[in-house]
Amino acid sequence: MARGDNSVLIVGSVALDSVETPTGKVERALGGAAVYSAVAASFFAAVRIVGVVGDDFPEEHLAFLISRGIDTSGLQVAKGKKTFHWQGAYLDDLNNAQTIKTELNVFENFKPELPSEYRLSKYVFLANIDPDLQLEVLDQIDSPQLVACDTMNFWIERKHPSLLNVLRKVDVAFMNDAEARLLTGQTNLNRAAHEIHKLGPNYVVIKKGEHGAVLYCDSDLCFMAAPYPLYEVVDPTGAGDTFAGGFMGYMAQAGVIDRDHLRRAVVYGSTLASFNVQDFSLNRLRTLTMNDINNRYEEFRRIVHFEPVE
Amino acid sequence: MARGDNSVLIVGSVALDSVETPTGKVERALGGAAVYSAVAASFFAAVRIVGVVGDDFPEEHLAFLISRGIDTSGLQVAKGKKTFHWQGAYLDDLNNAQTIKTELNVFENFKPELPSEYRLSKYVFLANIDPDLQLEVLDQIDSPQLVACDTMNFWIERKHPSLLNVLRKVDVAFMNDAEARLLTGQTNLNRAAHEIHKLGPNYVVIKKGEHGAVLYCDSDLCFMAAPYPLYEVVDPTGAGDTFAGGFMGYMAQAGVIDRDHLRRAVVYGSTLASFNVQDFSLNRLRTLTMNDINNRYEEFRRIVHFEPVE
């Protein structure tokens, strides 16, 4: 599949993650919302990343991003500082990470400054990060065509007004079920999605983890994606980020924003996420091919399609 | 849609249910696994019911079953005894009933005896009831073409050997996610379904409540059905039974057992269940039309279908 002309700009955390799951563990492996989503998007489009790392960030990780066609000129290196480090475990429940330690390090004083060519980006993904940083990045972009955001419970609770500002300015909001309920106070996810739509986004995607994802277009439920039937989840870290990255990458490649392409974007997002959780860190994505992705996309079709009323 | 020539024989509880949910409550309303599944199946095929009621069972309920084309000649009336009564509540969680009281009454000494014309039935649904009774019924049928069973945690724990006997003899096993995990000891539902397949059934349907249903054909996951996006669930009682009844009714009407028809059967089952939970007891099914059913079936298609790889 040929790459489109449109780049996807992504801002978010670039991290070293220490993660333990029932299957094993990794220490200071490559991670972060911007990294997961950028690599996922890179299967479909050129990607520009905005973020910051310390001078402890391994050269090989930068080389990997560049090898995926990701423009890292917007990735600052803060001398004498350490890269963001997240330590977490999924021991009782693969759907819920327990955070053991979050060391913000370089993110404590991060001021995003976009290289001039980044400012022309048409597809923008504000990955999970402080909503004030999401706004600072968005303000530097001239006339984006499709802007999406992700967030997490921490920002919903601690930076509510800033998050509402972000939501007013985006076209697509990605949230998992717990975040959607927390933000709106609605238990029913359809009602929660409607409340989020009223806050700004035309499109709301509720990610339900092992139960798939739902796309709302305006106030209409326009697509439900089944989960891919995995026999084992090795490490759920980055599932939501690879979902959003696959979604935005495909939309940039397609270059057309309509329900038909949004539905496919959800399936590509689900596909990328389903591969990503089959190994620690971004390991599965390192060897993944477009052929693997399209085969699984078609597998998704095979298991959900059925014939009309006779 | 014309009815097929094939009848569905259903054995299971015929009950008076007292149910409380966050929306309201009913006292001694019509219920029972055989009733829910028979009425759901009656939209597609002629139905024969096997069960027992006390002489307190309201005449109007019998009249309702007969008005749906259900043959009640296999429904015994035990003189001087009371109908099975279940009292339950769904106060904290609409996915989990709390049983407050189970009065077996007539079921304590029930011996199913099938009217002679029942013995020729080709489609048999052994709805949730003591597995020894399921076996007694099945033994009286000459040469069934498609036999399905349902069960519950109580029988998995208390009548394990008898339940294994049932599973060895059926083609389709319906189970909810918790029951599948309890029976097999497998947390992963795909693995659980494979274990159940090894116990006998060629087809395993895992019902995931608000998360839809999954059909396994031999050891292959052959279909995932999305849940219907309801804004409110009034009373979940009978959801699994109406699912199974819709499934079996459609299969009897179709008269062809292949993956294509099994997929549609899952969607019809989901459709019937989604209507049923929108009101207490069988109230929603009383006014339901085949047109309502087919419209929702097509709505299911609209929200899950997507285009192939470009």
Of the partner residues A211, A267, A310, the one whose CB lies closest to the CB of residue B306: A267
Compute the C-alpha angle B131/B266/B88, nearest 5°.
50
Hey, what are B49's tokens? Answer: 């019911």
- pLDDT bracket for residue A93 (50, 70, 90): confident
Residue A231 in this model has a pLDDT that exceeds 90: no
To the nearest whole angstrom, how far is the Cα of B40 from the nearest Cα of chain A? 17
CB B123 within 8 A of CB B146: yes
* Tens digit of each residue's pLDDT (9 = 90 or more) over A174-210: 999 999 999 999 989 999 999 999 999 999 999 998 8
- pLDDT bracket for residue A67 (50, 70, 90): very high
CB A5 within 8 A of CB A73: no
Residues of A with CB under 8 A from a CB of B: 1, 188, 190-191, 208, 211-212, 214, 221-227, 229-232, 260, 263-264, 266-267, 294, 297-298, 301, 303-310
Taking the C-alpha atoms of residue B8 and residue B49, their distance in angstroms, rounded to an integer, is: 8
Compute the C-alpha angle A195/A127/A227, nearest 5°.
70
CB pair distance less than 8 Å for A297 and B309: yes
What's the CA dihedral at A28, A33, A35, A37 to 10 degrees?
140
- pLDDT bracket for residue A6 (50, 70, 90): confident
Residue B224 in this model has a pLDDT that exceeds 60: yes
Residue B310 within a domain: no
Element spanning B20, H or E: strand B15-21
- Please report residues of B whose CB lies closer than 8 A to that of A226: 212, 224, 226, 304
Strands in A70-78's sheet, in edge-to-edge order, are A70-78, A46-54, A7-11, A123-126, A146-149, A172-176, A203-207, A213-217, A220-225
- Please report residues of B whose CB lies closer than 8 A to that of A231: 188, 190-191
A161 Cβ neighbours under 8 A, 6+ residues apart = none
In terms of residue numbers, what domain contains B150?
Answer: 8-304
Residue B28 within a domain: yes
| Shortest CA distance from B308: residue in chain A | A298
pLDDT at res. B204: 98
CA atoms within 13 A on the CB side of B235: 24
Q: Please state the ipTM of this predicted complex.
A: 0.91
Hey, what are B269's tokens? Answer: 């089952």
The count of CB pairs under 8 A between chains A and B is: 82
* Tens digit of each residue's pLDDT (9 = 90 or more) over B270-293: 999 999 999 999 999 999 999 999
pLDDT at res. B92: 78
Interval B30-38 mean pLDDT: 98
Residue count of chain B: 310
Of the partner residues B226, B297, B308, the one whose CB lies closest to the CB of residue A226: B226
Residue B309 within a domain: no
The DSSP code for A83 is: -
Residue A38 within a domain: yes
Residue A2 within a domain: no
- Please report residues of B whose CB lies closer than 8 A to that of A306: 223, 260, 263-264, 266-267, 301
Confirm whether pTM is higher than 0.95: no
CATH number of the domain encompassing residue A72: 3.40.1190.20
Residue B69 within a domain: yes
Hey, what are A181's tokens? Answer: 């309920």
Burial A250-287 (b: 16+ CB within 10 A, else e): bbbbbeebeeebbbbbbbbbbbbbbbbbbbbbbbbbee
What distances in angstroms separate CA A305 from CA A119, A121, A278, one per listed residue? 41, 36, 25
Taking the C-alpha atoms of residue B134 and residue B151, their distance in angstroms, rounded to an integer, is: 10
Structural domains counted in chain A: 1
Residue B210 in this model has a pLDDT that exceeds 90: no
To the nearest whole angstrom, how far is the Cα of A238 from the nearest Cα of chain B? 21
pLDDT at res. A37: 98
* Tens digit of each residue's pLDDT (9 = 90 or more) over B55-74: 999 999 999 999 999 999 99
- pLDDT bracket for residue B237 (50, 70, 90): very high
Taking the C-alpha atoms of residue A199 and residue A166, their distance in angstroms, rounded to an integer, is: 10
Residue A285 within a domain: yes
Task: Tell me which residue of A91, A144, A110 sits closest to A32, measured CA to CA.
Answer: A110
pLDDT at res. B3: 38
| Shortest CA distance from A186: residue in chain B | B231
Of the partner residues B190, B208, B305, the one whose CB lies closest to the CB of residue A231: B190
| Shortest CA distance from B220: residue in chain A | A303
* Tens digit of each residue's pLDDT (9 = 90 or more) over A117-159: 999 999 999 999 999 999 999 999 999 999 999 999 999 999 9
Residue B123 within a domain: yes
Of the partner residues B1, B297, B303, the one whose CB lies closest to the CB of residue A221: B303
